[in-house]
Amino acid sequence: MTLQKFKIHPFESITIVVFTGLLVPWLVRDGMFVDGVTYSTIARNMADGLGSFWQLHYTNTLYPVFYEQPPLAFGLQAVFFKVLGQGMMVERLYSFLSASVLAWLIALLWKQFVHSRKTSWLPVLMWITIPVIFWSYRNNMLENTMSIWDLASVIFIIKGVRSGKSLNGCLITGSVFILLAFLTKGLPGLFPLVVPFIYWLIFKQCTPGRMILQTFFVGVMAGFAFLIIYISGEGVRLFFTSYFSSQVWHSIEGHREIAQYGRISIFYYLILELWPAFLIMLLIKYVGNSKTKFSRLFYFGKNFWFFFYLGLSASLPLMISPKQSDYFLVPSTPFFALGFAAEILPYVEKFMHQMRNRFFIIVRIISGVTFAGILIIAVMNFGKPYRDFEILKDVYKIKESVDYGTVITANRKMCENWSLVAYLARINNNSLDCSQAKHDYILVCLNDNTQKWPPKYKPLNIGLINFILLHRTGY
């Protein structure tokens, strides 16, 4: 039996198992990071006709018109809600498909530089094992969608640069994908504009004049496409005016959330996320050629530097704002993974050629058993919360007693419990109101001895853990 008879290469099966194992057992469970719950709520609302593409809607009391993020990812996810309903698995399916599409795009970009299908699993494996990646896809972050457009843009721009023509259709297509990235997460999606420059810097396969022309052309085409959208309606102009004033400029000026180390936090996040993959790369290089001097381990090839600079171009510009988080790095991680994979490719190929077919058969058997185990674990834990257990239990109890879309009175502290707000909105479209208005329901903290119950309200005995739900009994 020869290796070619395997339909799926054994190392591809390992990658599939790792990919599935890091995502599926968490995606089938309830609970997400608050931002991911917020995004799925806005998308669900759009599917229900609450809000529109350019006037997103979160809750009746918090961001009734949501200008905090561009609308494209919400619009795409709204299609899933429109087709599949409101169940919690909709956004999780969207996240899993987003990860799958990006893995496929990583393999496509790899094949532009390495003409071998047998090793396309390598950068995918290095990418999915970066901690912030599987965390981000478990939690429905906007960066998941933006990464697709940016990687597609890089693929087409590289094709355009390599075509030998100064101006061509691939560059136009790449510029369209840049626009889609901008419409998903704003300014961080624009980094593929530097692809012609970085390609020229590393490979020197064209003149500086052509590189400048191609960069200018891609930028102009993306800008022209945005201009067409911008002038298409008053609602579009209002959205971007509000988005830049409330989100972009305030973030740059430091009036929004500020990371622990301010603008240089991105270096901390880069080191924190990438050091395991970087050390593995050095270890494989050392083991693969033990005669190499230690200093030679830090000599890297052109492919490494090309992808490494692309990764930096997608991450270092984030320093413009002190509002930073580790998941902002998600669009840059495919390029770092591709660079690490390119550097260890010769040693991995050598190892693959040395392995006997018996080894590959064993790997496939172990992979199959592990994959089955992952699916069994996923089925056993389907729908069970893996975070925010008490909040989720209370929100589902509230759902049984309160009509869909009802506004509930609460104090300011509870209205700033963002996880509670998000789950109430996602699960039953309920909003919390901390104004003086008295609605039919009031939610109070169980241990809040300072808040007096107003007259004509009685508590409902529905078994809440942390709250008491009061219901108006008269007027």
Is the Cα dihedral 106, 29, 327, 15 positive or negative?
Answer: negative
Are 461 and 345 in the same domain? no
Phi-psi domain of 229 (left: phi exceeds 0; alpha: psi -120 through 50; beta: other): alpha
Evaluate whether residue 399 is within a structural domain: yes
Are 183 and 45 in the same domain? yes
Which pLDDT band, with edges at 50, 70 and 90, does 6 fall under?
Answer: very low
Evaluate whether residue 379 is within a structural domain: no
| Of 38-47, 253-262, 292-301, 445-454, highest mean pLDDT | 38-47
Q: Which of 185, 339, 326, 335 is nearest to 266 (CA)?
A: 326
Are 109 and 188 in the same domain? yes
Q: Residue 265 in contact with residue 307, Cβ under 8 Å?
A: no
Average pLDDT, the chain: 91
DSSP string over 207-274: -HHHHHHHHHHHHHHHHHHHHHHHTT-HHHHHHHHHHIIIIIHHHHTT-S---TTGGGHHHHHHHHHH
What is d(CA 407, CA 429) in angstroms, rounded to the nearest whole number?
A: 9
pLDDT of residue 24: 97
Are 119 and 190 in the same domain? yes
The pairs formed by 324-327 with CB atoms below 8 angstroms and a separation of 24 or more are: 324/259, 324/263, 324/265, 324/266, 324/269, 325/259, 325/269, 326/132, 326/269, 326/272, 326/273, 327/132, 327/135, 327/136, 327/141, 327/143
Q: Which residues pair with 385 in a beta bridge?
A: 30
Q: Residue 54 in contact with residue 233, Cβ under 8 Å?
A: yes
Last-in-domain residue among 298, 332, 354:
354
Q: What is the mean pLDDT of residues 93-102?
A: 97
Give Cα 135 distance to the centre of its chain: 9
Evaluate whether residue 18 is within a structural domain: no
Are 461 and 344 in the same domain? no
Coil, strand, or helix at residue 454? coil
Evaluate whether residue 52 is within a structural domain: yes
Q: Which of 319, 308, 189, 198 is nearest to 254 (CA)?
A: 319
Tokens for 151, please give them.
């990687």
Are 279 and 202 in the same domain? yes
Which pLDDT band, with edges at 50, 70 and 90, does 449 fall under?
Answer: low
Domain of residue 221 covers 31-354
- Does residue 292 carry a pLDDT above 70? no
Q: What is the mean pLDDT of residues 37-61?
A: 96
Are 339 and 422 in the same domain? no
The model's pTM is 0.93
Evaluate whether residue 213 is within a structural domain: yes
Q: Which residues pair with 431 in a beta bridge?
A: 407
Q: What is the dihedral of CA 166, 172, 173, 177, to 10 degrees?
A: 120
* DSSP 8-state secondary structure symbol assigned to residue 337: H
Evaluate whether residue 361 is within a structural domain: no
Are 347 and 394 in the same domain? no
- Does residue 293 carry a pLDDT above 90? no
Strand 407-409 relative to strand 431-433, pairing: parallel
pLDDT of residue 275: 93
Q: How many distinct structural domains can be found in the chain? A: 2
Q: What is the dihedral of CA 426, 429, 435, 440, to 10 degrees?
A: -140
What is d(CA 209, CA 376) in angstroms, rounded to the nearest whole number?
A: 58
Of 134-148, 313-327, 355-369, 442-456, which range is least confident?
A: 442-456
Q: Residue 437 in contact with residue 461, Cβ under 8 Å?
A: no
Q: What is the pLDDT of residues 204-250, one digit of tens each?
A: 888 899 999 999 999 999 999 999 999 999 999 999 999 998 888 87
pLDDT of residue 259: 66
